[in-house]
Amino acid sequence: MRLRDSNLAKLDHEDFDVLIIGGGINGAVSAAALAGQGARVALIDRGDFAGYTSQSSSNLAWGGIKYMEGAEFALVRKLCMSRNRLLLTYPSSVKEVRFYVNMAKGFRLPRLVLYLGAWLYWLIGNGFTQKPRLLSKQTIDREEPIIRTEGGQGGFEYSDAYLVDNDARFVFNFIRDGLDHGAIVSNYVESLGASRDGKGHWVTEAKDLVSGREFSIRSRLLINACGPLVDHHNELTGEVTPHHHLFSKGVHLIVDRITQANRVLTFFADDGRLFFVIPMGPKSCIGTTDTQVTALPPVVTDEDRHFILDNVNKRLNLQKPLTQDDIIAERCGVRPLVASTKKGENTYADWTSLSRKHAVDVDVEARHISIFGGKITDCLNVGEEVAAKVAELGIALPYRGHSWYGEPSSAIRNEFFHQAKLMGLDDMTAPESSERLSTRLWRRYQASALSLLEDIRQDPRMAEVLLHGTEYIRCEITHAARCEMVVKLEDFLRRRSKIALVARHETVHQAPGLMEACRILFGDEAQARYDEYFADGMVADAKPAQRAHAQGA
C-alpha cells in the first residue's frame, strides 16, 4: 500500500491530539515540532505540500536588512538570530551568500550611510557572517562586469543566506521529519470546515481531492496553518481572531544564469525597493514585485513581467536585453501580512507600517490556534512557539525538549560520505551536474541518502541520470515514489525537485526517461499523470509560455 493511501485510512479511523490544516512552512514545522516531541499529529493540505505561498519565496534565509530603514531593529535582530540558527543546523541546505549591492547616483541615502547600515546589520547578527565590504565602481567593473556602473556611485557587499535546493524542498523535509516521528500526513485533502462535538473535540470534515471521498478527522486541538487562507478557514469554523491578513503579491522570473559567480546581485529598483538576481542552480531568479492585492490566487500579469525585465535590463550590461522569451519559469505568491482586526487599525493605507512579524492567535476555550504571517527564515521559532502553546492548552508532549530539527549528526554524515567514497559515487556524477553527486544526495535526502547508496550498490543503473537534461538519477525517482508522497507529476517536477523551474517546459516534455519516471512514480496511472501535467493551463506558476498561449496572449 502506498504511503498516502495508508495515511488516508489512518486519518479516517484514529483520534489525534492535533490536526494541522495546511502543509506550507508554518504547518510543516508545527507537525515536525509536535510529532518530534511525542504528540499524536495529523496534517492535511488541499494541494501539495508547499504548493501555495511556500513555493514562491525568494529562497532567502535573511535578517531583513530592509526593515532597518523603518528602525524595526528588534525584528531584524530576531530574524538574524533565526538565520544564524538555520545556518548552524542546516549547514548543507542553508548557505551563506554575498549580496553585491550597486547603487545609482542620487539614491535617497548616500552609499556610506548604507555601508554603515550594513555594518550595523552585521553587528546585530552577532558578526556571524563575513564582514561587509565597500565596493568602488572600479571593483564592481572588475569583479562583476555584467553590472552597469556608469552613472553609479559604487556599492557595498554584505552577507545573508539562501536555500540551496529551493523553498518547497526545504518545507518538504520538515513534512518528512514529521512523518518519521509518526505524524499522519496527506496532501490533496481539503478541510471543508470543522466544529466541536459534545466532548469539545474537533471534528473536521475532509475531502480527498483525488478520490472525491469525504470523511471526518477527530482531534483534541485544531491548528489553522492555511497561510493566506487562514481567515477563510476561520470563517468556516466560526473562529474570531485578533489578527487577520492583508496581501502583497511578489513575482520572480527565472532566466538563464546571468552571472557565474555565486552571489546575489542587488539593486534598488525604480520603486526604491531592493531587487535581486539570485542564483538558482544553473539559472538566475530575478525579482521581486510588491503589489497590494485582495484576490487569491495571485496571477502574474504583463505589468509584473515588464517591471522585472525593465529593471534588470536597465541595470545590467547584457549582450541582448532580456525579453519575455527568455523567461524559463515564473513564481508568484502573496506575502501574508499580519494586521490587527480592531476596527480602523491596519488597512492598506498603512501598508509600509504593517509588521512583517508572525502572530499565533490562541482560542483557549476552543483549543484552536491560528498562525498568521511568518517567514521561512523564522520557521524554527514558529515550530517552538506552536509547541509551547499546544502544551499550554493541555496536550501532553512526552518528549518535550527533544531536538526536532536540524541535519543528522556528524557521525551519520561522515558515514554517508565514507560509504560514498568507497563506492566511487562521485565518479558516477552526471555531466549535467555542477556539483558532486554525494554532496547533492546528502543535502536533499539527509539520513535517507544512505538508503539511496544501498539502492545503487544493488543495481548500478540506479546511479544513471533518468531525466536527461536534468541531474536526477534513477534512485532519486524510486525514493520519491516510495517516501515523498508524489501524487501528480507537478509535485515531483516543481516541488520535490526544481526541474520545472530550471528546465524549459519543452525540454522537460522531450526529456528521454520522463515516461519511465512516470511509471516509477505512478505505476498504472503513468500516462494519465503525464497527460494531466502537459495539458494546457497546468502548473500555473511554472510554465509561462504555455500559460500565455492558453490565455491567448
Ligand X SMILES: Cc1cc2nc3c(=O)[nH]c(=O)nc-3n(C[C@H](O)[C@H](O)[C@H](O)COP(=O)(O)OP(=O)(O)OC[C@H]3O[C@@H](n4cnc5c(N)ncnc54)[C@H](O)[C@@H]3O)c2cc1C
* Site for ligand X, rule CB under 6 A: 21-27, 44-47, 50-54, 56-60, 190-191, 225-229, 233, 250, 288, 333-336, 374-377
- Cα 432–chain centre separation: 24
To ligand X, the closest distance from the beta carbon of 549 in angstroms equals 25
To ligand X, the closest distance from the beta carbon of 133 in angstroms equals 23
Give the up-direction half-sphere exposure of residue 344: CA atoms within 13 A in the CB hemisphere.
0
Residue 422 cell numbers, joined: 568507497
To ligand X, the closest distance from the beta carbon of 64 in angstroms equals 9
- Pairing mode, strands 60-61 and 152-163: antiparallel
Nearer of residues 8 and 60 to ligand X, judged by Cβ: 60
Nearer of residues 228 and 544 to ligand X, judged by Cβ: 228
Nearer of residues 45 and 385 to ligand X, judged by Cβ: 45
To ligand X, the closest distance from the beta carbon of 502 in angstroms equals 18
Nearer of residues 155 and 336 to ligand X, judged by Cβ: 336
Q: Are 11 and 40 in contact (CB under 8 A)?
A: no
Nearer of residues 280 and 437 to ligand X, judged by Cβ: 280
Nearer of residues 31 and 420 to ligand X, judged by Cβ: 31
To ligand X, the closest distance from the beta carbon of 91 in angstroms equals 18
Long-range pairs for 307-312 at CB < 8 Å and ≥24 separation?
Answer: 307/269, 307/270, 308/251, 308/252, 308/253, 309/253, 310/270, 311/267, 311/269, 311/270, 311/275, 312/258, 312/275, 312/277, 312/286
The Cα 93–Cα 240 span in angstroms is 38
425-441 burial, b for 16+ CB within 10 Å, e for fewer?
beebbeeebeeebbbbb
Nearer of residues 285 and 514 to ligand X, judged by Cβ: 285
Nearer of residues 357 and 375 to ligand X, judged by Cβ: 375
Q: Are 387 and 98 in contact (CB under 8 A)?
A: no
To ligand X, the closest distance from the beta carbon of 88 in angstroms equals 16
To ligand X, the closest distance from the beta carbon of 242 in angstroms equals 17
Candidates 333, 335, 405; CA nearest to 372 is: 335
To ligand X, the closest distance from the beta carbon of 226 in angstroms equals 4
Neighbours of 335 (CB within 10 A): 21
Q: Are 199 and 56 in contact (CB under 8 A)?
A: no
